[in-house]
């Protein structure tokens, strides 16, 4: 077995997994707090990519240096996507807070179709070329055959986002309130926590990480279209379920497992069956651990 | 301090509170006794804004809080220890207490109060980094009361603090309730099925039956009342 090839696949899987993780976090946080699978989450990621494309094109035309373009585009995408996430929750989910769970789920699917078609009409159905925002660093040249500069940036960005998110959720006041709300909403309200505000905040954070993921992958793959959120969303959803939906470390672990599975199977067997492998691993894990790798099986105490 | 006037509440179409009026004066321990399903817990949830009243008025310190959001009511100084304790199972003991201070902005005072709680309940100090869900029933009840105290309430609502606990633990919890009332002049509204115990510590009591208040008197008089004896004291 060629060790270089193995390392390449390993790192490729890690990069893929990072992207999935950035999206999966949004799924798992929202699920953790209101037990809703937000099917429109992939669309938030797509909108992030579109915003990134528009902003970076304009800024490049105006002659801004590459680094400035990346930062500004990412910031714009984060803000714009967060606004979408916030609004989406207020319009599509909040009125259904006390309705049966299925209603909110259908509302989420409706939101997903609406956003796809809205971007289709407002933009285009064609694939749009996305500029490679991240340059090839010279100092990285000797290792570039293993992992390219843009991939390295993806890995580092993901790592930084994860660390920030962990700090936010573990140590800040609002992070603790998020955990408390996810465990018992009524009790949280009885302690003076504004539950609506915490839920909105969760959507904003989830949307922001998805937008970062959207920009990174668009710049890596080099093209985007209105449908990109659907497949990425499904994959990230699989990753979140694999790891145990509702669990944040679970979402990250699930994403890496999925990334490596796809990378190794396509590398050693065939790239035609990439998605098949992804779903096979899902089925296998759910047979043996129905709650996901790190998921807590729900035991109801009465 | 607290007045309920002809309060009516519903769960969907089912009326849980038919016509509740009661008064709590500052510094008192008031108890609300009654059988399962009489509406005792609903009364507490209604005055906390979780199950909003459809009719009637809830007035706290002269202010109408009937349609207020729960978090605003907490800010006014009402804190509830709900039935079943509702400890956040995956938050540590300290984090559970932190949540009680959510609306406070005086880090020094919070630190002091936290130390005071750990003095009062050394077992909580011992278990401070343990998830709340791993505590025993009695420890969880102590934590739930402590968490409510961390918000420095003027009015403390306690919903069945004796539920599912061993008699010796119950005695301790009731001692603490009396102490809280005396030492920090916290007004207490205590909901109990254990009528005997509750009436002994209470200044006054209300008896509830299927969504209405049927009787009210001092704790002593209710203890001696023949109907109460038959129905709730098993004598």
Q: Rounded distance, CA B120 to CA B138, Å? A: 14
A177 touches chain B (CB under 8 A): yes
Question: Which pLDDT does position B178 carry in this prediction?
Answer: 94
Residues A191, B86: C-beta atoms closer than 8 Å: no
State yes or no: pLDDT of B22 exceeds 60: yes
Q: pLDDT per residue over A13-61, tens digit each?
A: 999 999 999 999 999 999 999 999 999 999 999 999 999 999 999 998 9
Would you call A193 an interface residue with chain B, using a CB distance cutoff of 8 Å?
yes
Collapsing DSSP to helix, strand or coil, A148 comes out as coil
CATH code of domain B2-86+153-233 = 3.40.50.300
Contact A184 B102 (CB under 8 A): no
| β pairing state of B2-11 and B14-24 | antiparallel
Among chain B residues, CA nearest to A194:
B71
Q: Closest-CA residue in chain B for A180?
A: B88
Half-sphere exposure of B106 (CA within 13 A, CB side): 9
Q: Please indicate if any CB of chain A lies within 8 Å of the CB of B88.
A: yes
Q: Which residues of B touch A187 (CB under 8 A)?
A: 82, 86, 88
Q: Which residues pair with B58 in a beta bridge?
A: B4
**What does the alpha-carbon distance between residue B148 and residue B190 come to, in Å, rounded to a whole number?**
14
CB contacts, 8 Å: B90 with chain A: 179, 183
pLDDT tens sequence across B137-180: 999 999 999 999 999 999 999 999 999 899 999 999 999 999 99
Q: Which of A176, A177, A189 sits opposite B70 (nearest CB)?
A: A189
Are the Cβ atoms of B88 and A192 closer than 8 angstroms? no
Question: Could you count the other beta carbons within 10 Å of the beta carbon of residue B168?
Answer: 9
Give B158→chain A minimum CA distance, Å.
Answer: 12
Position A214 pLDDT exceeds 50: yes
**Partner-chain contact B70 A190, CB within 8 Å:** yes
Residue B216 near residue B32, CB atoms below 8 Å: no
Distance of residue A192 Cα from the nearest chain B Cα, in angstroms: 4
Q: Which residue of B has its CA nearest to A301?
A: B84
Q: Given CB atoms, is B70 within the 8 Å cutoff of chain A?
A: yes
From the list B69, B74, B90, the residue facing A191 with the nearest CB is B74
State the DSSP code for A94.
Answer: G
> Does A190 contact B90 at a Cβ distance shorter than 8 Å?
no
The pLDDT score that the predictor gives to residue A277 is 84
State residue A302's pLDDT score: 46
Residue A112 or A298, more confident: A112
Higher pLDDT, A228 or A134: A228
DSSP output for chain B? -EEEEEEEEEETTEEEEEEEEEEE-TT-EEEEEE-TTSSHHHHHHHHTTSS--SEEEEEETTEE-TT--HHHHHHHTEEEE-TT----TTSBHHHHHHHHTTT---HHHHHHHHHHHHHH-HHHHHTTTSBGGGS-HHHHHHHHHHHHHTT--SEEEEE-TTTT--HHHHHHHHHHHHHHHHHS--EEEEEES-HHHHHHH-SEEEEEETTEEEEEEEHHHHHH-HHHIIIII--
Residue range A144-196, pLDDT digits in tens: 777 888 888 899 999 999 999 999 999 999 999 999 999 999 999 999 999 99
Whether the predicted pLDDT of A79 surpasses 70: yes
**B63: which strand partners?**
B60
What is chain A's length? 302
Contact, B211 vs B34, CB < 8 A? no
Cβ-defined contact of B102 to A177 (cutoff 8 Å): yes
Supply the pLDDT for residue B103.
Answer: 94
Per cent of chain A over pLDDT 70 is 98
Q: Inform me whether the C-beta atom of residue B95 falls under 8 Å from chain A C-beta atoms.
A: yes
Q: Does B82 touch chain A (CB under 8 A)?
A: yes
The C-alpha of B156 sits at a distance from chain A's nearest C-alpha, in angstroms, of 12
In sequence order, the β-bridge partners of residue B181 are: none
Closest by Cβ to A192, choosing from B88, B98, B102: B102
Q: How far is CA A254 from CA A33, A39, A166, B187, in A?
A: 19, 18, 17, 50
Which of A172, A183, A187, A299 would you mutate first to test chain B, the one with the most B CBs within 10 A?
A: A187
- For residues A295 and A245, is the Cβ–Cβ distance under 8 A? yes
Residue of A nearest to B84 (CA): A302
CA-nearest residue to B133 within chain A is A183
Averaged confidence pLDDT in chain B: 93
Q: Where are chain B's structural domains?
A: 2-86+153-233
Nearest by CB: A191 against B69, B89, B99: B99
Tell me if A179 and B88 make a contact (CB, 8 A cut-off).
yes
Angle (nearest 5°) at CA A87 between B11 and A47: 140
**Which helix or strand (DSSP H or E) is residue A300 part of?**
none
Residue linked to tokens 């006037």: B5
Hey, what domains does chain A have and what are their CATH numbers? 21-288 (1.10.3470)
CA separation for the pair B201, B182 (Å, rounded): 12
Check pLDDT > 70 for residue A299: no
């Amino acid at each position: 077995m060629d060790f270089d090839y193995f390392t390449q696949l390993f790192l490729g899987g890690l990069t893929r997994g990072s992207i999935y993780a950035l999206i999966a976090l949004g799924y798992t946080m929202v699920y953790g707090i209101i037990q809703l699978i937000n099917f429109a989450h992939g669309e938030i990621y797509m909108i992030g990519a579109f915003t990134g494309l528009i902003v970076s094109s304009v800024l490049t035309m105006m002659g801004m240096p590459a680094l400035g373009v990346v930062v500004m585009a990412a910031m714009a995408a984060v803000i714009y996507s967060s606004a979408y996430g916030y609004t989406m929750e207020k319009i599509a989910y909040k009125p259904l807070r006390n309705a049966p769970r299925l209603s909110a789920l259908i509302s989420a699917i409706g939101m997903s179709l609406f956003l796809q078609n809205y971007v289709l009409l407002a933009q285009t159905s064609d694939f749009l070329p996305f500029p490679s925002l991240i340059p090839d660093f010279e100092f990285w040249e000797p290792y570039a055959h293993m992992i390219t500069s843009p991939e390295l940036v993806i890995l580092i960005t993901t790592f930084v986002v994860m660390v920030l998110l962990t700090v936010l959720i573990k140590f800040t006041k609002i992070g603790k309130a998020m955990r408390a709300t996810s465990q018992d909403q009524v009790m949280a309200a009885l302690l003076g926590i504004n539950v609506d505000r915490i839920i909105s905040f969760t959507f904003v954070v989830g949307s922001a990480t998805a937008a970062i993921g959207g920009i990174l992958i668009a710049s890596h793959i080099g093209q985007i279209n209105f449908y990109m959120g659907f497949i990425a969303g499904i994959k990230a959803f699989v990753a979140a379920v694999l790891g145990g939906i509702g669990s944040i470390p679970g979402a990250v672990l699930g994403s890496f497992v999925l990334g490596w599975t796809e990378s190794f199977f396509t590398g050693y067997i065939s790239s035609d069956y990439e998605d098949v492998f992804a779903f096979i691993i899902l089925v296998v894990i759910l047979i043996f651990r129905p709650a996901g790798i790190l998921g807590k099986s729900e035991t109801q105490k009465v | 301090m607290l007045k309920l006037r002809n309060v009516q509440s519903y769960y969907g179409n089912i009326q849980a509170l038919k016509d509740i009026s009661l008064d709590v004066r500052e510094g008192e321990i008031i108890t609300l006794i009654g059988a399962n399903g009489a509406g005792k817990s609903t009364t507490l949830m209604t005055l906390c804004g979780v199950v909003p009243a459809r009719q009637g008025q809830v007035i706290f310190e002269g202010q109408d809080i009937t349609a207020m959001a729960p978090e605003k009511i907490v800010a006014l100084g009402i804190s509830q220890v709900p039935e079943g304790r509702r400890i956040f199972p995956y938050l540590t003991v300290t984090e559970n207490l932190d949540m009680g201070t959510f609306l406070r902005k005086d880090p020094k005072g919070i630190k002091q109060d936290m130390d005071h709680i750990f003095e009062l309940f050394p077992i909580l100090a011992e278990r401070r980094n343990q998830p709340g869900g791993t505590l025993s029933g009695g420890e969880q009840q102590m934590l739930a009361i402590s968490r409510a105290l961390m918000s420095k309430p003027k009015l403390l609502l306690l919903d069945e603090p004796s539920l599912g606990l061993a008699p010796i633990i119950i005695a301790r919890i009731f001692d603490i309730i009396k102490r809280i009332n005396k030492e920090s002049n916290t007004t207490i509204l205590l909901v109990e099925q254990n009528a005997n115990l509750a009436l002994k510590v209470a200044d006054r009591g209300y008896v509830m039956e299927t969504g209405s208040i049927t009787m009210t008197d001092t704790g002593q008089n209710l203890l001696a009342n023949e109907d109460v004896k038959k129905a709730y004291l098993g004598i």
